């Protein structure tokens, strides 16, 4: 499964973007209409300048969805211009509905940046509220009203609005933090459960099998001359018990309850695995570079499991047609496997699975001495070239695993060989 943290981050950005777009669609037309209906009607250059200022404010709110600090700085600069420019002051620009976009930028800083930085942003907002209250031209033209009291009330109202936006951002921040903590607890529990399950089941399988095999081997050794038929039967039990134990251990490691009696998965079997998911709606390709090296059994199983998990997730979380590339790079010390999809025609929105597939896989790879990373293309492995068209919105799973040391007699021969080129399996046609 793709990580819950990544999905929650995408959902948070989407919600913020929807709010900013809603403010743009609703508040900008109202602000422009209020300019047209204001009395006295401002001059055309002032109207154009204010319309550009309002548009810049909403643009800053959209920018703050991905770059909170940059969006807030742009919004603060625009608000300052609207307050200080004489033409804008005559039209009371900062009192128009589009000024709410500034509060959205402040809330984004409070929700996504450090608390110290959000406090500085709140201070800027409060200073702006004071500047607006002092510079607002319409307050000085009010007859029969205490202007100082009016400015004080305006400052308190604007300051309360800025503080409320900042507090809402903090609430979102704390809610997100609690969700991430729950996710971290879930991940740690999944890792602990996986370790316990593997340890307990392996202990049961190996302890029982070794007890039987040792007992039968003692019988075979004691009766090999006097009663060879009994010794032969005992050796048969040893062989059968060993095979059953191997099946059980492979079933535990592969998390499959009915593992068939097949050879241990190796690098050679990856081509068959990649080809098994190929269909008119799914084009797959295996690219292998470097000189293939021997792997320990734990590394071979983890490599096979990583490719299978990457292929499964690519098909589960994307809508066809989808293109998947599996890259296998061998070095003298480790093998690197990458499974990358092009994002298909969009996200399927599927929530199938327990949500801990990558957690379990990461633990298995760590126990084998390797590492695992996954994420949107360009984040899990920034140095990786995207598979498919430029601007791919796909997903990348990358795993590194150690290889076995090369025997001394092969080391010299390997150094004398020319560097092998890339080996690419045939690619199926997508829909």
Kindly report the CATH number assigned to the domain that includes residue 236: 1.20.5
What do you get for the CA distance between the two ends of the chain, in Å? 25
pLDDT of residue 320: 77
Residue 247 sits in the same domain as residue 276: no
Q: Find the domain containing 334 and state its range.
A: 267-424
Total of domains in the chain: 3
Is residue 19 domain-resident?
yes
Residue 197 sits in the same domain as residue 297: no
Residue 51 sits in the same domain as residue 174: yes
- Residue pLDDT tens, the chain, 431 long: 444 444 445 455 677 788 888 888 888 888 777 776 765 666 777 778 788 888 888 888 889 888 899 999 998 898 888 877 655 555 556 677 888 888 889 999 988 888 889 899 999 989 888 888 887 766 555 555 667 787 788 788 888 988 998 999 889 888 888 888 887 788 778 777 777 767 766 666 676 677 667 777 777 788 878 888 888 888 887 787 777 777 666 666 655 444 444 555 677 788 888 888 887 778 889 999 999 888 887 788 888 888 988 888 887 777 778 889 999 999 999 999 999 988 877 776 554 444 556 777 888 888 888 999 988 876 544 444 433 444 457 889 999 999 988 765 555 545 544 444 455 655 554 44
Residue 291 sits in the same domain as residue 243: no
Residue 67 sits in the same domain as residue 157: yes
* Structural domain ending residue among the three candidates 152, 183, 214: 183
* Structural domain ending residue among the three candidates 158, 183, 208: 183
Residue 178 sits in the same domain as residue 205: no
Distance CA 88, CA 3 (A): 48
Residue 331 sits in the same domain as residue 368: yes
* Structural domain ending residue among the three candidates 165, 183, 201: 183
Distance CA 396, CA 15 (A): 25
Containing H/E element for 423? Answer: strand 423-424
pLDDT of residue 407: 61
Residue 248 sits in the same domain as residue 384: no
pLDDT of residue 353: 45
Is residue 294 domain-resident?
yes
Tokens for 165, please give them.
């936006």
Is residue 431 domain-resident?
no
pTM: 0.47
Is residue 351 domain-resident?
yes
Is residue 258 domain-resident?
no
Is residue 206 domain-resident?
yes
Kindly report the CATH number assigned to the domain that includes residue 333: 3.30.565.10
Residue 231 sits in the same domain as residue 298: no
Three-class secondary structure of residue 385 per DSSP: coil
Distance CA 105, CA 120 (A): 13
Is residue 261 domain-resident?
no
Q: In what order do the strands lie in the sheet with 334-341?
A: 371-376, 395-402, 334-341, 322-330, 282-289, 423-424
Residue 343 sits in the same domain as residue 286: yes
Residue 242 sits in the same domain as residue 148: no
Is residue 395 domain-resident?
yes
pLDDT of residue 288: 93
Residue 241 sits in the same domain as residue 151: no
């Amino acid at each position: 499964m793709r990580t819950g943290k990544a999905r929650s981050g995408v959902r948070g950005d989407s919600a913020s973007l929807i709010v900013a777009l809603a403010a743009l669609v609703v508040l900008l037309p109202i602000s422009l209409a209020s300019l047209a209906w204001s009395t006295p009607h401002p001059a055309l250059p002032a109207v154009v300048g204010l319309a550009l200022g309002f548009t810049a404010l909403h643009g800053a709110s959209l920018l703050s969805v991905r770059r909170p600090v940059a969006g807030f700085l742009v919004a603060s600069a625009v608000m300052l211009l609207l307050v200080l420019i004489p033409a804008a002051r005559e039209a009371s620009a900062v009192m128009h509905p589009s000024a709410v976009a500034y509060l959205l930028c402040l809330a984004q800083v409070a929700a996504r940046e450090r608390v110290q930085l959000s406090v500085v942003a709140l201070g800027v907002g409060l200073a702006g509220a004071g500047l607006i209250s002092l510079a607002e031209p319409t307050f000085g033209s009010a007859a029969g009203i205490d202007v100082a009291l009016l400015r004080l009330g305006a400052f308190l109202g604007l300051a309360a609005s800025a503080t409320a936006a900042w507090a809402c951002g903090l609430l979102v921040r704390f809610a997100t933090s609690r969700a991430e903590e729950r996710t971290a607890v879930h991940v740690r529990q999944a890792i602990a459960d996986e370790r316990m399950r593997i340890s307990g089941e392996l202990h049961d399988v190996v302890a029982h099998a070794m007890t039987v095999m040792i007992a039968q081997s003692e019988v075979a050794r004691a009766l090999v001359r006097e009663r060879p038929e009994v010794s032969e039967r005992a050796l048969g039990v040893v062989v059968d018990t060993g095979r059953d134990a191997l099946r059980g251990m492979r079933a535990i490691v592969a998390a499959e309850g009915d593992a068939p009696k097949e050879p241990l998965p190796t690098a050679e079997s990856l081509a068959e695995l990649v080809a098994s998911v190929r269909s008119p709606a799914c084009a797959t390709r295996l690219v292998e570079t470097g000189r293939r090296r021997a792997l320990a059994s734990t590394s071979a199983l983890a490599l096979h499991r990583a490719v299978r998990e990457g292929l499964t997730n690519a098909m589960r979380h994307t809508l066809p047609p989808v293109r998947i590339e599996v890259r296998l790079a061998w070095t003298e010390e480790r093998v690197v496997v990458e499974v990358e999809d092009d994002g298909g025609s969009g996200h399927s929105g599927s929530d199938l699975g327990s949500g801990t597939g990558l957690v379990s896989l990461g633990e298995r790879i760590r126990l084998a001495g390797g590492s695992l990373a996954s994420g949107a293309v360009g984040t899990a492995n920034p140095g990786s070239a995207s598979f498919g068209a430029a601007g791919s919105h796909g997903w990348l799973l990358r795993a590194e695993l150690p290889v076995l040391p090369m025997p001394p007699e092969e080391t010299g021969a390997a150094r004398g060989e020319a560097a092998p080129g890339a080996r690419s399996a045939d690619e199926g046609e997508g829909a």
